Amino acid sequence: MNKAILKVNNFSISIDGFGAGPGQDLANPLGINGMSLHQWFFPTDAFQQMTGRGRGTTGIDNDFAVKGLERAGACIMGRNMFGPVRGSWPDDTWRGWWEEDPPFHCPVFELTNHARASVTMRGGTTFHFVKEGIHAALQQARQAANGMDIRLCGGVSTIRQYLQEGLIDQMHLAITPVILGAGEHLFHGIDMAGLGYKCIQSTPSDKVMHVVIAKGE
């Protein structure tokens, strides 16, 4: 595609549809058993190099991981993905899960109900906190992306909000053979067909089923 698009990449869900487990906290950033959804991603060469750990595995999973990390001029994420702090920000101590050099390397627009000054990190990542909702965050991200695509990082609640408005152009999901049974369900109550979404690709690997969903023309 030539135009800038809003996309979800490398997003893992369980076979019963959950994108995160229950009980998110410092010990469980993705909820209880949530990390099990991403075991296809962590060994890949793309992830290993992104986190400075050397070389990793190649093949189908890595191909999707690499593609999912390309051409992002800006990112959007929900507050839960940024960290476990709830309510008003007590101070500026919490700066995300990723230490001082987050893997985004672009402006990140973080949805929140509570004002906070932007946080500039190493590697080109700056977190901007947007109180005005999903449309305002998307508008600011488009301006910052300067014609490049915008990556919607998550979490589940944020993706659902953009899906319900039909604003996501394309989604790559990795359906993992794990049953969570509880947590945050990605598609519950959302009429994907009615919103014009279609599955345009499905590719199995040894660990997951990669599925690409896009808005119909």
Interval 89-147: pLDDT, tens: 988 898 988 889 898 999 999 999 999 999 999 999 999 999 999 999 999 999 999 99
| pTM metric for this prediction | 0.93
User: Is the link from the previous residue into 59 a cis peptide, with omega within 30 of 0?
Assistant: no
Tokens at 40, concatenated: 């296809």
For the chain, the farthest-separated pair of C-alpha atoms sits apart, in whole angstroms, at: 46
Q: What would the mean pLDDT of 58-82 be, rounded to a whole number?
A: 92
- For the segment 186-202, the average pLDDT, to the nearest whole number, is 97
Highest mean pLDDT among 2-6, 67-71, 120-124 belongs to 120-124
Average pLDDT score, the chain: 93
Q: Are the C-beta atoms of residues 175 and 204 closer than 8 Å to each other?
A: no
Please tell me the predicted confidence (pLDDT) of residue 217.
Answer: 60
Task: Tell me the residue type at 107.
Answer: P
C-alpha pair distances (Å), 75 with each of 5, 29, 101: 11, 19, 15
What distances in angstroms separate CA 94 from CA 70, 82, 102, 123, 135, one per listed residue? 28, 9, 13, 18, 25
- Phi/psi at 76 (nearest 5 deg)? -130, 140
Helices (H), the chain: 45-50, 60-68, 79-82, 134-145, 156-164
Of 26-35, 162-171, 172-181, the poorest mean pLDDT is in 26-35
pLDDT at residue 71 above 90?
A: no
Strands 6-14 and 170-176: parallel
* pLDDT recorded at residue 66: 94
pLDDT of residue 1: 42
Write down the residue that tokens 């099990």 correspond to: 36
pLDDT score of 56: 95
Mean pLDDT confidence for 187-206: 97
As a whole number of angstroms, the distance between CA 163 and CA 90 comes to 31
CA distance linking residue 69 with residue 63, whole number of Å: 10
Place of tokens 């101070």: 91
CATH code matching the domain that covers 6-14+64-86+102-176+187-212, chosen among 3.40.430.10, 3.40.50.1220, 3.30.360.10, 3.40.50.410: 3.40.430.10
Q: Quick check: 129 and 118 in contact, CB under 8 A?
A: yes
